Amino acid sequence: MTKSEIPEAIYQNINTKDNEGCLDLKTHRQKHQPPQLTGSISVKSRKLRALEVCLGLLCALLLTAVIVLCVYFSIQRKHLLTHITELNEDREQLLNQNNDLTEEREQILKHNDDLTEERKQLLTNITNLNRERERLLNHIENLTKEREQLRNDKWKMWPYEQDLPVDKFKWICYNNSFYFISSEMKSWSDSRRDCQQRKADLAIIKSTEEKTFFQKVVDRNFWIGLTKTDVWKWLDGTVLTNGSKTDSSNCAVVAEGGYYTSACNSNNGWICEKTHHY
């Protein structure tokens, strides 16, 4: 076909199409597009789909992460609230313990104050006792001086100079009688024998005043001239009216508290009495 024949063919085709209807140029172009153009569109479409899938997965992952984080933070929040509650309870308990310790401290301080007052009272009592002790020591010292004075002055009342005993400074004078107070200890019979060797005999207490005198000068048990057979009698035969008949011992001693019974073979001190008629 020559170039002059090509337009005629085209016109003929156009005429033919006009007889059949208008030709869709777009469809005509698509039909006549090269095959490689269609393949490029398909690749792009697949890439877009892959990108959409990736974005969907990423969104799903992000949503999952958000949900997990929400659950995690919710759990942590509950834990924190529980921990805060426990801390508040511990705080209340510590406050209660602190209050208890404060009360206990106040009680200890009060007890300490009481002990301090008690200590002051004890110190005061000790001071008073020391003063009383000093007073008693002074009184004892005065009594000792009086006793020594009596011993020094007793011989002024002795009526017979030739009857002075050799151990005159061991005798004391009271109510016109002289008394020897032993420093040894013997039985009742040995004590009386010692008095007889001194030209005396065991003491006979004739009055309440004399009894009181002996109770002041003795500091332990001393034999006196009082024994019991059926009744209690003094060596001069005077019966002791208030003596007990049921005592198991038959000899008597004098002490700070008065008369006491003692076994005659026991060892005690003794008091010898010397009067003018010896």
Contact 170, 147 (CB under 8 A): no
Token pair in block for residue 136: 């008693």
Quick check: helix, strand or coil at residue 243?
A: coil
Q: How far apart are CA 180 and CA 214, in angstroms?
A: 11
Average pLDDT rounded to a whole number, residues 209-227:
88
- pLDDT at residue 177, as a whole number: 83
Other C-beta atoms lying within 10 Å of the C-beta of residue 178: 24
Please, what is the average pLDDT of the chain? 79
**Integer angstrom CA distances of residue 193 from 197, 200, 222, 274, 276:** 6, 9, 15, 14, 19
- pLDDT at residue 172, as a whole number: 83
- pLDDT at residue 202, as a whole number: 95
pLDDT tens digit string along 140-155?
988 888 877 765 555 4
The answer to whether residue 252 scores a pLDDT higher than 80 is yes
- Quickly tell me which residue has 């929400």 as its tokens: 70
Q: How far apart are CA 170 and CA 172, in angstroms?
A: 7
Query: H/E/C letters for each residue in 47-80?
Result: HHHHHHHHHHHHHHHHHHHHHHHHHHHHHHHHHH
Q: Is the dihedral of CA 93, 95, 96, 102 positive or negative?
A: positive
- pLDDT at residue 150, as a whole number: 66
Q: Is the overall model pTM greater than 0.75, yes or no? A: no
**Range in 21-35, 138-152, 234-248 with the lowest mean pLDDT:** 21-35
- pLDDT at residue 151, as a whole number: 58
Name the percent of the chain lying above pLDDT 70: 74
Q: How far apart are CA 214 and CA 260, in angstroms?
A: 13
Contact 223, 270 (CB under 8 A): yes
- pLDDT at residue 49, as a whole number: 87
**Integer angstrom CA distances of residue 69 from 56, 63, 65, 72:** 19, 10, 6, 5
Give the number of residues written for the chain: 278
- pLDDT at residue 42, as a whole number: 80
- Residue 251 amino acid letter: C
- Give the long-range contacts of residues 72-78, CB within 8 A, separation 24 or more: none
pLDDT band at 243 (very low <50, low <70, confident <90, very high): low
